[in-house]
Amino acid sequence: MAKLGVNIDHVATIRQARGGIEPDPVAAASVAELAGADGITVHLREDRRHIQDRDVMILRSTVQTHLNLEMAATAEMVAIAMKVVPEYVTLVPEKRQELTTEGGLDVAQHSQLLTRQIESLHQAGITVSLFVDPDLEQLKASARVKSDYIEIHTGSYCEATGQAKTAELAKIEAAIKAGRKLGLRVNAGHGLNYRNIRPVLALGGVDEYNIGHSIISRAVLVGLDRAVREMADLVHGS
Ligand code: PXP
């Protein structure tokens, strides 16, 4: 059965809009877990635009499923991860100007740095995932740098329409198969919602889906409990 990791960054986005204390992502994580989330994901961005260091520290002791810390492959972030020791770290590319993560990591280009960082994270007992485009060269490079997981970037599939969408789905399918053949475990995420996830679920072979924006958006209208339950039902039923 596939798992659902709920990304609660945008609960913090709402809090930061007023710079106050509500809504608290720590409370959101507990509600999400009670509603069937299998894991909690947060992205501690270098600019701290949503999740704060305080959130990560508290979540470390309150999350009862598993904590997946998304972060840039920088010395500052690796040092934080070594202090927090989440179950998973997902390394992502990060640009200050972007609205959200754009594109996957260029693992091939940064293989020396990533090899060193993955080794350090492994020594701290942290399982590592690399956020990559569904591209064979990046998958091979991910295996070479000894990542445990890849997370396939589903953004291009989610944004495409018509024939292009079918082509993007085929790339995801090929990447799932290739990743597993290379001995990597495979997660997927970015841009997935209650409709576009169905064809991806039908492919099989994905351990965990990391989903944030669509769940928090639905939660604004129907409540977080229901929004998580509805996505968990889809993912668990696949
Ligand atoms: N996976 C990764 C690596 C991400 O950077 C993000 C966005 O923070 C997500 C999944 C979740 O994407 P979305 O919010 O579009 O569901």
70 annotated active-site: yes
- Ligand 1 centre from 72 Cα, in Å? 13
Of ligand 1's listed atoms, the one at least distance from the Cα of 90 is 3
Distance between CA atoms of 206 and 201, rounded to whole angstroms?
Answer: 8
Is residue 203 predicted with pLDDT exceeding 70? yes
Tell me the pLDDT of the chain averaged across its residues.
96
Residue 194 C-alpha to ligand 1 middle, in angstroms? 15
Q: What is the mean pLDDT of residues 140-150?
A: 98
Q: What is the mean pLDDT of residues 79-101?
A: 87
Protein residues whose CB sits closer than 6 Å to any atom of ligand 1? 7, 9, 43, 70, 90, 92, 100-101, 131, 151, 189-192, 210-214
Q: Whose CA is nearest to atom 6 of ligand 1?
A: 190
Split at pLDDT 50, 70, 90, the class of 179 is very high
**Catalytic choice (151, 173, 190, 208):** 190
Q: How far is the CA of 131 from the centre of ligand 1 (A)?
A: 10
Ligand 1 atom with minimal separation from the 155 CA: 15
Q: What pLDDT is stored for residue 100 in this prediction?
A: 64
**Predicted pLDDT of residue 103:** 82
Instruction: State the pLDDT confidence band at 90, using cuts at 50, 70 and 90.
Output: very high
Give tens-digit pLDDT for 18-70: 999 999 999 999 999 999 999 999 999 999 999 999 999 999 999 999 999 99
Judged against a pLDDT cut of 80, whether residue 149 lies above it is answered with yes
